[in-house]
Amino acid sequence: MTDTTVPYVSADQMREVDRLAVDEFGITLLQMMENAGRALARLGRERFLAGDARRKRVLVLAGSGGNGGGGMVCARHLHNWGADVRVLATAPPDGQMGEVPRHQLRILDAIGVVTTIVAPEDARLPEADLIVDALVGYSLRGAPAGATAALVRAANEHRAPTLALDVPTGVDPTTGEAAGDVVRADATLTLALPKTGLRTAAAAEYVGELYLADISIPAELYARPSLGLDVGPVFATDDIVRLG
């Protein structure tokens, strides 16, 4: 599979994909998040943990929105597969975190995965075999700030490889431009369809290897007039495909 066979979309188009999925097709955010997080865990295990998660140390950097929720799903699956997982979150669940990621956090609490709310001055990362960047996805507006920016800097200074969910934090999903602190990922797993910014020269040094994950968006949704996209069976042979 090459990136010439898959359409790339802007952030506005991806917002329309999400809207159609929920409002017209009845696909919930929880369903899409579960698919995204499991795919992220699987790619992390296969690409960076030598195919075996047992006793591997994984740090999941989780934001307060949907991207953070996907990272928490990833944390749960890796924990279930035997990894030593810690989640570092940028916001507390009471009021500053969306309901869907709060739901994922409650599950992590129930199974004993340690979650720490990080203040900017405390963004220090312990030793790890893999860092998962689930701070901000395609909803980025402006440069990362506060704890998010501090965790980006800490990840870039760490020796472990970094796997980004959807878009490396700090990269504009539509233009590929970066303002302020930006995650330098070794690989990026983008969701449903790749974002236009990921194939720009401006983003090349941040994206690393580019993969695409199936989150169960039907071709009929893409064909709706508000999108007008012809998307074939991209995932006919695997639910994760490499684009670059």
Pick the closest to residue 167 from 146, 193, 149, 145 (CA basis): 193
- pLDDT by residue for the chain (244 residues), tens only, comes to 334 479 999 999 999 999 999 999 999 999 999 999 999 999 999 999 999 999 999 999 999 999 999 999 999 999 999 999 999 999 888 877 888 889 999 999 999 999 998 878 878 899 999 999 999 988 777 788 999 999 999 999 999 999 999 999 999 999 999 989 999 999 999 999 999 999 999 999 999 999 999 999 999 999 999 999 999 999 999 999 999 9
Could you tell me where the beta strands, DSSP code E, fall in 22-117? 57-62, 84-89, 114-117
Instruction: Give the Cα separation of 184 and 164 in Å (integer).
Output: 9
* Residue 64 DSSP SS3: coil
Instruction: Give the Cα separation of 232 and 36 in Å (integer).
Output: 20
Four-way CATH pick for 3-242: 3.40.630.30, 1.20.120.350, 3.40.50.1110, 3.40.50.10260? 3.40.50.10260
Length of the chain (residues): 244
Instruction: Give the Cα separation of 205 and 170 in Å (integer).
Output: 12
The residue type found at 4 is T
Instruction: Give the Cα separation of 148 and 89 in Å (integer).
Output: 9
Single pTM value for the model? 0.95
